[in-house]
Every structure is written in C-alpha cells, then in structure tokens.
C-alpha cells in the first residue's frame, strides 16, 4: 500500500506574542513545530503500513529549514520524505499549495491513501487537503476520527471511516484512492526513539524544486499562481465602548457593583 502524508512546519502559535506598542507579531524565538494535526496523520499512516505493508512517504512544502519537520516524521517511522522547496513556490496560497503538492504526489507514483491533518494551526483553513484531492481527481473524506476497515480486493479497494461532523458521527465508505483529513481523536501519535532520531538526522532527504516536478506550469506556482492577495495586516480592533473598570475595597464589593450594573443594563 502506498501512503502519502502531507505535513507542514508551523510556528508554535501558542507562543506567538504581539508587540504591545507596534501591534506586530514578535516572531523571534518562536519555535517551529510539525503541525500538531499532521502528527495524527503520520501515526495513522504508520498504523496502516503495519496492517497492510507498503510504504509511507512524507511530503512538505516550505523553506529549506522545513527539512527538520520531515526528519521528525522520519524518526516516527516514515520510510521516505520529500521536501518541496523553491523560490518559485514562495507566497503560495492554498490553491497554489494544493497544486504543487499534487504534482509531487503524482511524481511519487500510484497512491492508495493520502493523509493530511484537518488543518494547520497557523492558517487554520483546512483547504489544502480537499484541494489536493481535486487536483488529483480523487475522492476526499474530511474530519476522519477512525478508520473502520480497508479492503484491497476487489481492486481498487474500499475504505470505511467514521467522521465527526457538526451534527454527529457519520460512517462513510469510499473507493480507493482517497484523501483523508484526520482529527485528533483518531490516535495517539508515537514518540520517536532516540536511535530513530539519530537515523533520521543522517538520512538524505531529496529537495524537489519546480524543475523536478513534471508538468507543472510556473504560472500556477507561488504568489503568481495564487488567486488570493493579502492586502492588509492589522491588530484586531477594540470595541467602541471603553471598558469600565470596577474598583472596590474587597472582592465582594467589586462583585456586588458588577451585579448591580448588569442588572441595571438588563443583561440578566
């Protein structure tokens, strides 16, 4: 079984701070991590390989330093990894990212299952997974919380999954190949052993640029290929009404004054 996992290196957004004076992001010292949702995708890929054999290939697109994210998932157990890195990819929005990842997946050969995290914690869009599936012309099932069964015969095979949707839990079946995006209920990602971390650090991970992706058209890559444009970045606005800070001698007095005001404003 050929399994592809798409991962993203993201800044640990829980650590991102805002400069209170300038209102800009303070990026210095913010650690880079593998997008947490992608770790569930990697774990699920490794579980599938254990059951069905085959190969797990991790792919990421990013700057050269994103190779460290790939080393991390190789240490978890991925067999192969590919870094997509090229100045031509810079500034990609979700459309151009899907296009580029799909081209790389095609280059790796026939695939049975593609796994992605449900979204990345920096962009929070959840758009790249379904976008890849459309580019490849394959089916997609999002928000998968459990894989119930995989049957490889008769070809092309089927997969049955449970999905967490707004109203409850759906059980659905798809023909293979399929792209799944996974939620964190699906498993508990393994920790890499020290020996595997060392092995991953020594592994040669190929970097593919635009020239290594057959059939891609440069007009669909990077900023040029991205339909969206970020035109403004701002700190979030405050509300029109200024806050009234309640000052009192004791917590009970402060609480009492607040309750008075809420009752007077008919909030309760």
Partner 1 sequence: MAAIVIDREKCIGCGACVDVCPFDALSMEGDVAVVNEKCTLCSACLDVCPVAAISLPEPVIQAGTPDLAAYQGVWVWVEQFRGQACGVSWEMVGEGRRLADRRGTALTACVLGHNVEPVTREAVAYGADRVFWADDPTLAVYRTTPYARVLVGLVRRYKPEIFLVGASMRGRCLASSIAAELYTGLTADCTGLAIDPDSGFLRQTRPAFGGNILATILCPNYRPQMATVRHRVFEPPAADPGRTGPVIAVPAELREDQIATRVLDFVVEHSEVNLADAKIIVSGGRGVGGPQGFGVIRELADALGAAVGASRAAVDAGWIPYDHQVGQTGRTVRPDLYIACGISGSIQHLAGMSTSRVIVAINKDPDAPLFKVADYGIVGDLFEIVPALTRQFRNRLKS
Out of 50, 87, 124, 152, name the contact with partner 1 by CB under 8 A. Answer: 124
Q: Examine residue 138 and tell whether it contacts partner 1 (CB under 8 A).
A: yes
Beta bridge partners of 164: 169
Kindly state whether residue 175 participates in binding partner 1, applying the rule CB under 8 A.
yes
> What is the closest distance, in whole angstroms, from the C-beta atom of residue 166 to partner 1 in the complex?
5
State the minimum distance, in angstroms, from the CB of residue 202 to partner 1. Answer: 33
Asked whether position 152 contacts partner 1 by CB under 8 A, the answer is no
Site for partner 1 in 57-116 (CB under 8 A): 93-95, 98-99
User: Interface with partner 1 includes 126 (CB under 8 A)?
Assistant: yes
d(CA 179, CA 200): 26
Centroid of chain to Cα 67: 16
Query: In the range 205-244, which residues lie near partner 1 by CB under 8 A?
Result: 217, 219-220, 226-239, 241, 243-244
According to CB under 8 A, which one of 101, 141, 186, 221 is a site residue for partner 1? 141
Helix (H) or strand (E) holding 44: helix 36-52
Among 125, 193, 198, 218, binds partner 1 (CB under 8 A): 125
Choose which of 117, 129, 189, 222 interacts with partner 1 (CB under 8 A).
129
For position 182 contacting partner 1 by CB under 8 A, the verdict is no
Q: Determine the interface stretch with partner 1 among 53-61, 64-72, 79-87, 131-139 (rule: CB under 8 A).
A: 131-139
Question: Which of 191, 201, 211, 259: binder of partner 1 (CB under 8 A)?
Answer: 259
Longest pairwise C-alpha distance within the chain: 76
Looking at 16-24, 67-75, 78-86, 200-208, which segment touches partner 1 (CB under 8 A)?
16-24
Contact 207, 66 (CB under 8 A): no
Site for partner 1 in 20-59 (CB under 8 A): 20, 25
Which of residues 12 and 50 has its CB atom nearest to partner 1 in the complex? 12
Long-range contacts from 9-12, C-beta under 8 angstroms, 24+ separation: 9/33, 9/34, 9/35, 9/60, 9/62, 9/65, 9/66, 9/68, 9/69, 10/34, 10/35, 10/120, 10/121, 10/122, 11/122
Structural tokens at position 22: 């300038």
Among 92, 142, 145, 187, indicate the residue that binds partner 1 (CB under 8 A). 142
Selected binder of partner 1 within 156, 191, 201, 206 (CB under 8 A)? 156
Interface size with partner 1, residues (CB under 8 A): 90
**91, 222 in Cβ contact below 8 A?**
yes
In the complex with partner 1, which residue's Cβ is closer, 195 or 265? 265
The sign of the CA dihedral 252, 257, 263, 268 is negative
Taking the C-alpha atoms of residue 189 and residue 223, their distance in angstroms, rounded to an integer, is 34
User: E strands along 8-79, which residues?
Assistant: 9-11, 17-18, 25-26, 32-34, 55-61
């Amino acid at each position: 079984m050929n399994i592809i996992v798409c991962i993203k290196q993201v800044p640990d957004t829980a650590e991102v701070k805002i400069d209170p004076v300038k209102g800009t992001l303070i990026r210095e010292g913010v650690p880079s991590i593998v997008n947490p949702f992608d770790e569930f995708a990697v774990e699920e890929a490794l579980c599938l390989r254990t059951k069905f054999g085959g190969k797990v290939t991790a792919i990421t697109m990013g700057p050269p330093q994103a190779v460290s994210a790939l080393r991390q998932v190789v240490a978890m157990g991925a067999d192969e990894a590919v870094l997509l890195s090229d100045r031509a990819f810079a500034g990609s929005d979700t459309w151009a990212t899907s296009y580029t990842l799909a081209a790389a997946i095609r280059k790796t050969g026939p695939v049975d299952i593609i796994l992605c995290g449900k979204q990345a914690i920096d962009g929070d869009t959840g758009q790249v997974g379904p976008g890849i599936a459309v580019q490849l012309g394959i089916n997609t099932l999002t928000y998968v919380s459990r894989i119930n069964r995989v049957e490889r015969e008769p070809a092309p095979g089927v997969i049955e999954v449970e999905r967490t949707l707004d109203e409850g839990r759906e059980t659905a079946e798809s023909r293979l190949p399929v792209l799944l995006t996974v939620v964190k209920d699906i498993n508990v990602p393994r920790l890499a052993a020290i020996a595997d971390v060392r092995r991953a650090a020594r592994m040669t991970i190929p970097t593919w640029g635009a020239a290594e992706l057959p059939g891609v058209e440069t007009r669909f890559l990077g900023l040029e290929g991205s339909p969206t444009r970020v035109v403004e970045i701002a700190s979030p606005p405050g509300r029109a009404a200024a806050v009234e800070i309640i000052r009192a001698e004791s917590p009970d007095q402060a609480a009492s004054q607040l309750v008075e005001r809420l009752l007077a404003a008919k909030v309760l």
